[in-house]
Chain A
Amino acid sequence: MLEVRQLVRHYGAVRAVNGVNLHIRRGCCFGLLGPNGAGKTTTIEMMEGISRPTSGIVLYRGEPLGQQFRNEVGIQFQHTALQDFLRVRDVLELYRALYATALPLAELVEICALGEFLDRDTQRLSGGQRQRVLLAIALVNDPQLLFLDEPTTGLDPQSRRNFWQLINGIKGRGKTILLTTHYMEEADTLCDEIAIMDAGKIILQGEPQGLLQQQFGEAVLQLHSSVVQTKTLPLPYSEAAGVITINSNDVSGTIRLLQQQGIALDALQIRRRTLEDLFIHLTGHQLRG
């Protein structure tokens, strides 16, 4: 449905996006992940047609972006203010009038659960309510492709989960979604496919579970380093911040080996790998701007 070929964007001497290639299938919820400054927003804005690439091309249904694209996409930006002194109803009516065909107001209200504050001034909305209104604006034209740029940043856990429910509902309507997020749990819950971006490049792309399996194996075992004589460990492992981490496809076999080495297993933790592990593994532990 949307294809990106060799996308590059320079800001002076800085190469914010450096040769990105992506292909987003119809009906897929695609997550674009990356640390701050990785180039996610710059990439997504070029895919939205909001900013122009220095080089490369974005194709929608095989064609360069044009009027059909404008009519068929919905966008929720990371930072958007609603106009002052308008009520939620006024805002939705305004955006409905900007498209040749639009969803009925009642349907938007139902999809995004806006009923209780439809006649409230936009300046008096909570963070979660505001995001729901912005989502409703993005859905106003019943888009085939929906861009969501960090839609839950700054929301409390309840609001975030409520928002996930809304997005799952939209997925259920067969829409294609492109989502950027900092929250790996969000990507894990919502995305069918992800791409991890760093320093302007896509460093990994695929289905979340497949990528985890490919990178780490089935499970991870963690022990405090004080209980382990690392020299005697007959397994590949990593050590960071006083914790020994072992990847394993055979948890029972690994535990047996540890017992044979006489290692105390009282504080052993066994868990499945998460996207957050993958993210940190690929993008490192350093702080980003």
Chain B
Amino acid sequence: MRLSWQRFFALLHARNIEFIRDRAALSWNLLFPVLMMVGFAFIFSQEEQPLFKVGVYDSAGVGHPFLQSHYLQFIPIANDSELATAVTKVERHQLDLLLALDAPPRYWINSSSAAGYVTEQMLRASDAVMPQRQLVSGDEVRYVDWLVPGVLGMNMMFSALYGIGFVLVRYRKNGVLKRFHATPVTSLEFITAQICSRLLLIVVSAIMVYLLCDLLLNFAMYGSYLALFCVLLVGGFNLIALGLIIAARLRSDEVANGLINLLTMPMMVLSGVWFSLEGSPAWLIALADLLPLTHIVTAARLVMIDGAGVTTIMPQLATLTVMGLLFLLIGTLLFRWDD
């Protein structure tokens, strides 16, 4: 099937005008995530998280009496690579203490972390041979720093699913798609233009939201901007392609709305937007890994909080690309102009 660039750009231009002139939708796309992040930053800036988190690396299964302590959450560390990541988490105050029980036994705490100090005292009181003390330093990752990548991802999800899913269903319902079908436009040209238009709008609005939030909240960004842009681009494409599946045949706004809710609700809860699934049952983590937003949020956090570059987030980018291409294939095969 040939693609006419003249027709593609005409459709792209018209869709962009439609979105830009829809001031209500435009404002909502920009203001909603900013308001949400500012609100959460305010709510959670007053108090520390009550639970102490301890990372435990015990590949040999040595054990330690400290591991029997109450009121602590122990997060198992599987290998050396995860141990290095966990040290970064101690630096960012995301772990209060990290304990490695292989020889020689060591533990890491952050010299500026009050929770780390208390957890260290609990370790001392556990009446065992003390591991070697390792000190790290670093700024605390506030809840809002942790939240920003999640909310950026969530905003992309809503913009993609509603922007493609809802709009195409409305086009089909009121006859706009039928009108296009009566012209020489091919489904490839039409779908490509819709995807590119929405991707462009998602990228531009995400950058604006990012800049606005940075101005208001001064959140953490330790990694590469190029890597974050890749997450935005690949993640946006993935979610738009998912929206295309919903929009492929439906004529009813209500059904489309229901299906979009069916997709977005599990992603809101399980993809780690609001809270971490660290330490959750394996089956729940496996389920979350099936959701594209999980990989978007994980990659964005790796970049923004853990300072990752493109190479580090390659597994997430590859997963999102493969999933996105699969969604696109299904959506394109299912697509109908009218009935």
Contact = CB atoms under 8 A, between A and B. Distances in A.
Interface in B93-138: none
A209 interface: no
Of the candidates A48, A71, A84, the one having the most CB atoms from chain B within 10 angstroms of its own CB is A84
Interface in B5-29: 6-7, 9-11, 13-14, 17-18, 21-22
B183 A98 contact: yes
A90 B17 contact: yes
A151 to B, nearest CB: 14
Contacts of A75: 179, 182
B185 interface: yes
Contacts of B13: 94
A84 B181 CA distance: 18
A90 B176 CA distance: 15
A252 interface: no
Interface residues of B, number: 26
A48 B182 contact: yes
A50 B182 CA distance: 7
17 contacts: A50-B178, A50-B338, A67-B184, A70-B182, A75-B182, A77-B178, A80-B174, A80-B175, A80-B178, A80-B179, A81-B174, A83-B171, A93-B10, A95-B183, A97-B6, A98-B7, A100-B184
By DSSP majority rule, is chain B's interface helix, strand, loop, or mixed?
helix
A233 to B, nearest CB: 53
Contacts of A183: none
Given A81-B174, A86-B14, A86-B17, A98 B22 contact: no
Contact of B22 (A70, A73, A85): A85
State the 3 A-B residue pairs at the shortest beta-carbon distance, nearest first: A97-B10, A81-B174, A85-B21
Interface in B178-223: 178-185
A137 interface: yes
B339 interface: yes
Contact of A84 (B10, B18, B178): B18
Contact of B176 (A48, A81, A85, A100): A81
